[in-house]
Amino acid sequence: MSEITKIQLGQNGPMVSKLGLGCMRMSSVWGELTPDETESIATIHQALDSGINFLNTGDFYGAGHNEMLIGKAIKGRRDEAFISVKFGAIFHNGQWIGLDLRPVAIKNFVNYSLTRLGIETIDLYQPCRMDDSVPIEDIIGTIAGLVEEGKVRHIGVSEITAEQLRKANSIYPISALEIGYSLADRQIENDLLPAAKELGISVVAFANTAEGLLTGDLQAPLPVDNYRNHFSRFQDDNLVHNLEKIEVLKQMASNKGFTPTQLAIAWVKEQGNNIMPLVSMSRRARLPENIAAMEIVFTPEEMNVLNTTFAIGAIKGGTYLQR
C-alpha cells in the first residue's frame, strides 16, 4: 500500500492525511448492530500504519462508544493520530431528537469526550450543526475558551451555510468545514465551497459515495427493508433515473480499471488541495481500494463527462443532506 499524501489543515494548521478515516459506522448510531470491534480497531491501526492520521468521530456516535473505541485504538499511538470530534447532537433510543449547543453543555461535553478518548486535547472540535437557539458567537466563543484552556487545538464546523461560515470565522479562525459532498451532492459549489476556499478553510468532505449510490452496487427496486427507502433519491422513478447516471460512472471505472467508488472518491479529492475525502471504512479490506483512489487522475475529457453527467440537479431526490 502506498503512503498517503498530507495536506495542511486550514491556513496555518498541522499536516493531516489527504484521506480521512470516518469512524461513525464502527458504532451503532441509528440502532443497528455494532460492527466487530476487533476489526474496527485493526482498521484504525492499519489506517495509521498507512499514514491516515485524520480520524473522525462524534460524541453521539454510539452514545460515546465510538470515542471509547478510538481511545482504545490510539492507546500508545496518540502522536500518530489527529482526532476530530463533533458534538451537539442529542439522541434518544437511536433517534436524533435535537441539538444542545449551549455554552454550559459544550463545557460539559468536552470533558466526557476527553475521558472517553483517553487524551488531554482534542485536535479538532466542532458543533455538528448550528441552530438559532444559541448565538453563533456563544458557540464559537465557548470553543475558543476551550482552546485557551488547552482542551481543544483547532475549531471546525459542520453542515452550515456560507453566511454562518463567514460569521464563525470572524469570531475565531475556523480550520475545517465538514460537509457532505460528492458527485451526487454538489450544491455546496454555489457558495459554501468558494467561501471556504476564500477563507483558507479546509474542507472535510463526507458521504463521497452518496449513501452507496455511487458504489454502483445498487439495483432498483431496493429490498423493502433497506434504510435507503426513506430517502426520495432511492424511491421509484428517481432511483431508476439515478441508476442510469451511475452507468456512466460504472463504464468509466471499468475503462480505467478502477471501481465506481474509487472514482467517486477520486473526483472529490480532485476538487482542490484543501479538500479531504472523509470515507467510512469499518473493515481493513476497504483501505487498499480507497487509498489507491487517491492516486487516480482524470483526463480533462473524463472530468468533463463526470461534471456534465453529474451536474447540480442531475441526481433526482435527496437524502438527509437536504440543502
- Positions touching ligand NAP (CB under 6 A) are 22-25, 56, 86, 128, 158-159, 178, 206-209, 212, 215, 261, 278-283, 286, 289-290
And the C-alpha cell for 18?
A: 489527504
Q: Which three cell numbers mark 308?
A: 456534465
Name residues whose C-beta falls within 8 Å of residue 244's C-beta, 6 or more positions apart in sequence: none
Residue of 61, 112, 125, 172 with catalytic role: 61
Say which DSSP state 133 is in.
T
Write down the least CB distance from residue 89 to ligand NAP, Å: 9
Q: Which residue is nearest to ligand NAP (CB)?
A: 22
- Shortest Cβ 242–ligand NAP spacing (Å): 15
Say whether 198 sits in a helix, a strand or coil. Answer: helix
125 in active site = no
**Measured from the CB atom, is 67 or 178 closer to ligand NAP?**
178
Query: Shortest Cβ distance from residue 179 to ligand NAP (Å)?
Result: 7
Query: How far is CA 259 from each of CA 156, 232, 245, 262, 263, rounded to the nearest angstrom?
Result: 32, 25, 15, 5, 7
CB of 168 to ligand NAP, least distance (A): 15
Shortest Cβ distance from residue 206 to ligand NAP (Å)?
Answer: 3
Q: Which of 88, 153, 163, 158 has the alpha carbon at shortest distance from 123? A: 153
Question: Of 54 and 274, which has the nearer Cβ to ligand NAP?
Answer: 54
- How far apart are the C-alpha atoms of 231 and 242, rounded to whole Å? 13
CA atoms of 121 and 108, how far apart (whole Å) = 15
Looking at the Cβ atoms of 22 and 64, the one nearer to ligand NAP is 22
Q: Which three cell numbers stand for residue 249?
A: 460512472
Q: Give the residue with the Cβ less far from ligand NAP, 242 or 282.
A: 282
Task: Using the minimum distance from each CB to ligand NAP, give the nearer residue, 268 or 304.
Answer: 268
Sequence-ordered alpha helix ranges (H) in the chain:
37-49, 65-73, 103-117, 136-149, 162-171, 192-199, 236-256, 260-269, 286-293, 300-309
Catalytic residues: 61
